[in-house]
Chain A
Amino acid sequence: MWKMSRIRLIRAVTLKELIDYVRDWRTLLVIVLVPLLLFPILFVALPLLLQAEFVERQEFDLNVVIQTDDSVESLKPFLFNTEMELSWETIPLGIANLSDSALEDDRIGSGQVHSVLRLQKNIDNGTIWHYAILYDSTDERAKEAKRRLLVAVFAWEDEQVNTTLEMAGLDPYQTLDPVRWDGDSQVADVATTGQQAGFALSLFIPLIVATWTATAAMQPAIDMTAGERERGTLEALLCAPITRMELLVGKWIAVATIAAIGVLIQVVGLFLAIAMIASGSSVLGMPSIGATALILMFSSILLFAVMIVAFQLALAVRSHSVKEAGTVLGPIILLIIIPALFAQLINLEGIEFWWFLIPVVNILIALRELLTDTVVVEHVVLWAGSSLLYAFFAAWYASKQFNREDLVESIN
């Protein structure tokens, strides 16, 4: 009976905090819309944009100048394929080498000519062609002209190599490619597309989960603690017949719920984006993760959230204002990102046990392992045990902070 009434109090606090928080439309934008759209935009819209930009570049009208004193008849077909306006000139006198752009600054800089290809035959040690392309690296058209000129020059170079080998009585195919892969290399991979997808995701999902949990929890944690102090609402609340521990638990559940929804929506957004890409791809599939690994993944995220949210609440409640709390909690994100980056680089094969004892890193490595559908009991015991310990410590620290007498004092 008593317990039920205490649970009702905690539920009342959580409910109020959630209602109060979601009433702000900016919250919905940050917690729901941004994480939901981030990956679809990144994975689907970005390639579409890049493709559109490529098509746009293909349609540029480009003028290039070919400067040479030699006959380049064999190069001409390749240059004509570039679909650029070509004009021919001799190499100017007085240049130090072919890359000397001093004399072409004005023409290229003004956009009158987009690129200049200089070619010079050197026959001292056999036939060698020297070339240089003059262009403006800050001009989109000049860069595109250079790209097309390089395509033509490399194709011509291949032809030159083949001709030289044939003249020497050699088969270019056998000479240049004597060791070859037989068949389809993708078929040779025993991993399923689902496993491959899981492995690929393991390289960045932990990072997302870690940073987004910390980021999504930060604002509500500040609002529900330092924000209450700043607005003077905490005094009235602390006069209610609820213990500070119950208040902490109620607020913690609210912050954790908001952070969890944020992370969940982001992961859903990510999977949506993958599903969209996978539907048109034979290489990429949806990740295949077993039920045990999935449950453990959620447990690890939960433990991580317990720890992070408790620490954030504890640190935020020490602050007298939202601004002060923001200054304190802002750098915390760095404390998450740096170990998260480390965790991405650690080899999972033969990994030392103590990695699973380091806070933050342990959960991120666990997530990487689980995303590849690998469940190692010893590792699970280590990360779950150590994380429970850290979460307990974080909760204890938070409860200590919530019992501070000066909590009631407001800057107002």
Chain B
Amino acid sequence: MGEILLTINDVSKQFSHIEALKNVTLTLNRGDIVGLVGGNGAGKTTLLRLMCGLYRPTSGRVLFHADSGPAPVVEMRRFLGVVPESTGLYHRLTAWENIRYHSRLHGISDEECWKNTLRIAKELDFVESLGRPTRGFSKGMRQKAAIIRALAHNPDILLLDEPTSGLDVTSARMVRSLVKRMGQSGGTVIYSTHKLAEAEQVCDRIIIIHNGEVRADGSPGELLGITATTSLEEAYVKLTMDAARETEKEDDEGKIAKLWRRMMTPKKLPGGDVEDE
């Protein structure tokens, strides 16, 4: 296990009446490729935003462990590379201008940024597109540009929010390969996705998050072990199954059956005739 980079200690986040995260405790070590898996609205993006310091925890602490000691993440953003789900590219700027802008904000010289950009762009087969405005980019090209932008300042941690969402098979594969290579070279990645199979392919550690709670945290093998299942899909279903949700499901099924019966029961018309459809 590598050195600790990020600690999330008993963090909860509430938005008016909605409790988006409940007492989340996590530790992220150097070299981890962590899959953050959960359904829509599970709290993945909220957790990522807390890790970037975009949200302040309602309770608990998020700490980044730099050489100088632990510090609030907001002061340590220069060690983070972030690819939000929306990619966040300026469409009137070229891909290179987008990358350079963010690197300047990270205090990286244009020369160093260009060297890094070129290296990553070669891996992603993106060199030719660097000088083009991002306005006409496909979703895949936008995602690649955003990944280069996030990596150009050599971050310690890369946060990816649904990085393969909307990508074709080849582009998604390319992104996954890049993440895997990062892991092999000692990089640290948090990979948020709702695709379990993808997380299984890319990550060596999976965190299942559901209704704002961390339901499980471990390697794929550990998840199978604690749930006594043979596939991650079964493990996920078991881990995210709520008693309340079951009751709700039964209630819903009962309502649907009742409605169906009512619809299928022939109505008696005045005079005793049966209405034909």
Q: Is residue A165 contacting chain B, with contact meaning CB distance below 8 A?
A: no
Sampled A-B contacts (19; CB under 8 Å): A5-B107, A12-B104, A13-B105, A24-B92, A233-B88, A233-B90, A235-B49, A235-B86, A236-B83, A236-B84, A236-B88, A236-B102, A237-B102, A239-B82, A239-B84, A240-B106, A241-B77, A408-B49, A408-B55
**Inter-subunit contact B92/A23 (CB<8 Å):** yes
Alpha-carbon distance A105/B246, docked complex (angstroms): 87
In the assembled complex, the CB of B37 is this many whole angstroms from the nearest CB of chain A, namely 21
Residue of B whose beta carbon sits closest to that of A9: B105
On whether the beta carbons of B93 and A20 are closer than 8 Å, the reply is yes
Q: How far is the CA of A237 from the CA of B84 in the complex (A)?
A: 10
Residue among A8, A237, A238, A240 having the largest count of chain B Cβ atoms under 10 Å? A240
Number of interface residues of B (CB under 8 A): 32
Q: Confirm or deny: A412 has a beta carbon within 8 angstroms of a beta carbon on chain B.
A: yes
- Chain A contributes a number of interface residues (CB within 8 A of B) equal to 26
The residue in chain A whose Cβ has the minimal distance to the Cβ of B107 is: A5
Which among A13, A234, A236, A242 has the highest number of chain B CB atoms within 10 Å?
A: A236
Asked if B92 and A412 sit within 8 Å, CB to CB, the answer is no
CA distance A82 to B55 in the complex (A): 82
Q: Which residue of B lies closest to A235 (CB)?
A: B84
Chain B residues near A16: list those with CB within 8 A.
90, 93, 97, 101
Question: Mask for A1-37, Cβ within 8 A of B = 1, else 0?
Answer: 0000100110011001001100110000000000000
B141 to chain A, nearest CB (A): 16
Q: Among residues 75 to 106 in chain B, which have CB atoms less than 8 Å away from a CB atom of chain A? A: 75-78, 80, 82-93, 97, 101-102, 104-106
Tally inter-chain residue pairs, CB-CB below 8 A: 83
Task: Tell me whether B89 and A233 are in contact (CB under 8 A).
Answer: yes
Given A12-B101, A12-B104, A236-B84, do A405 and B55 touch, yes or no (CB 8 Å)?
Answer: yes
A109 within 8 A of B: no
Residues of chain B touching chain A, judged by Cβ–Cβ distance below 8 Å, are 49, 52, 54-56, 75-78, 80, 82-93, 97, 101-102, 104-107, 146, 149, 159
- CB-CB < 8 A to A410: which residues of B? 86
Q: Tell me if A20 and B92 are in contact (CB < 8 A).
A: yes
* Chain A 231-251: CB-based contact to B (< 8 A → 1; otherwise 0): 111111111111000000000
Contact: A237 with B104, CB < 8 Å?
no
